Structure 1
Amino acid sequence: MGMFSRMTDIVHANINAMLDKAEDPQKLIRLMVQEMEEALAHARCVSAQYIAQKKQLNRNADSLNRSAQRWQEKAQRAVEKGNDSLARAALKEKQSQTRQFEILQEEIAQIDSQLDKLTDDIEQLGHKLAEARQKARMLSQREHTVAAQLKLRNQAQQESVQRAMGKFEAYQQKVDQLEAQVEAYDLGSGSASLEAQFAELEQDESIEEELARMKKSRAA
């Protein structure tokens, strides 16, 4: 299993745990981005360790290669001097250095393979992280847009209610004014009727008094 697969499993596990907690979408996206950033940072750290290890192995391999060449030269001089036993000992050391060199070369090849896979994993994770960040920005923008729309709709609704209430109050005031006019008219009409009745009563009394005077004068 590659490094990216392990990191992806870890990220997915953490995301599933967050989903189980029913986190809000924006917070969930932020946590996803954070998890992927941490995974990417870990992958880069491992890559740096591989590179440092490869450099050290290359230094050791170069040292072994130079040592093998020196033993080869010593064996050649021993042969030239006719000392076969010394030449054999030198060739033995050369073979030992060569075997160690070959082992290091295999380890370096394995590290190169791991670095190639890790580089691909980092690249894939980097793309995924960029997508997640883009989705986070889009979600944040959508949330702000929806919040602004809701605010405007609430304001519009409140203004509509206020207008309706204003129209109702204006209509109620007109009705109150009409009722007041009717009441004022009724009060005026009642007062005029009473005055007329009192005037008529006074007129009747005057007539009766004058009639009484006429009867008295005739009787005298």
Structure 2
Amino acid sequence: MGIFSRFADIVNANINALLDKAEDPEKLIRLIVQEMEDTLVEVRTSSARTIAEKKDLVRRVNSLKEESEEWERKAELAISKGREDLAKAALLERNKAVEVVDELQLELNKLEEVLSRLSAEVSQLQEKLNDARARQKALIMRHKTTSSRLKVKQSLYDSSTEDAVSRFERFESKLNELESEVESYDIGRNRNLADEINDLEREDEIDKQLAELKARVNKKS
């Protein structure tokens, strides 16, 4: 099973569980990012173990190659000394080492394929994680904004809100009526002596300003 199929199974299981509980979507976003981070750490740890195993195989292969070359040298020595029996025995040992090298080389090739695949998948997962981190704040902000708008919409269509607005409008209408009633008392009210004197003073001031204006105009002419 690849990283992404396994990761998808984990995330989907958690998301479905949270949705069943009607959990906060912000928690879902954080969960997805956390699952990606945990999966990335786990895969990198697995990759480190695989790399260590590969190094161990490489050491064994190199050691067996040296051993086979040593048996080859011993076989040549035995032939040069006229000991064909020892040469045959040395060649048998050399062949055993070569067979083990071939087997280990197959395992090494498989490990290299696994590491190559892991490297590609880790790179893809890292890119997706970086993208998820970059979008996390924006998604959470969008959710908060949308939730606020939803509450406003619900309030606008809520009957209790409509009743409150209606009561407010009735109060405003009553206040207008009271203000109009207060103003009505000034209609037809008899002017007293102080009012008439004030009017004379204002008229006298206007006449004075008019005379000054005429004087300035005549002076300019």
Which category of TM-score, normalised to the shorter sequence, fits these structures? 0.5 to 0.7
1:119 aligned partner = 119
Q: How much does 1:24 deviate?
A: 1.8
Q: Distance in 1 between matches of 2:16 and 2:124?
A: 21
Q: How much does 1:177 deviate?
A: 2.1
Q: How much does 1:84 deviate?
A: 0.7
1:192 aligned partner = none
Question: Which secondary structure state, in structure 1, belongs to the residue aligned with residue 22 of structure 2?
Answer: coil
2:179 aligned partner = 174
1:205 aligned partner = none
Q: How much does 1:126 deviate?
A: 2.0
Q: How much does 1:143 deviate?
A: 3.8
The one-letter code sitting in structure 2 at the alignment partner of 1:131 is D
Q: Deviations over 1:62-113 (max 9, x none)?
A: 1111111111111111111111111111111111111111111111111111
Q: Distance in 1 between matches of 2:173 and 2:35?
A: 58
2:200 aligned partner = none
Change (3 A) 1:176 1:125: same
Once the two structures are superposed, the pairs formed by residues 91-170 of structure 1 within 5 Å of their partners are: 91-143=91-143, 145=145
Q: How much does 1:152 deviate?
A: 11
1:80 aligned onto 2:85 = no
Change (3 A) 1:144 1:20: closer
1:61 aligned partner = 61
Q: How much does 1:165 deviate?
A: 9.7
Change (3 A) 1:49 1:169: farther
Change (3 A) 1:99 1:111: same
Q: How much does 1:140 deviate?
A: 2.1
2:47 aligned partner = 47
Q: How much does 1:134 deviate?
A: 3.2
Change (3 A) 1:167 1:14: closer
Contact 1:74 1:90 in 2 (8 A): yes
Contact 1:2 1:117 in 2 (8 A): no
Q: How much does 1:168 deviate?
A: 5.8
Q: Distance in 2 between matches of 1:109 and 1:132?
A: 34
Structure 1 gaps of 5+ residues are 155-160, 186-220
Structure 2 gaps of 5+ residues are 156-164, 190-221
Q: Distance in 1 between matches of 2:61 and 2:67?
A: 10
Q: Distance in 2 between matches of 1:151 and 1:19?
A: 21
Q: Distance in 1 between matches of 2:134 and 2:21?
A: 24
Percent of aligned pairs with the same residue?
Answer: 40
Q: Distance in 2 between matches of 1:21 and 1:144?
A: 19
Q: How much does 1:131 deviate?
A: 3.2
Q: Distance in 2 between matches of 1:13 and 1:2?
A: 17
Instruction: Find the structure with the greater CA-based Rg.
Output: 1
Q: Please give the TM-score of this superposition, normalised by the length of structure 2.
A: 0.67
1:28 aligned partner = 28
Matched positions, count = 177
The one-letter code sitting in structure 2 at the alignment partner of 1:175 is S
Q: Deviations over 1:154-184 (max 9, x none)?
A: 9xxxxxx8x98997686355235246668xx
Q: In terms of mean alpha carbon deviation, does 135-144 or 97-106 score higher?
A: 135-144
Q: How much does 1:41 deviate?
A: 1.1
Change (3 A) 1:143 1:3: closer
Q: Please give the TM-score of this superposition, normalised by the length of structure 1.
A: 0.67
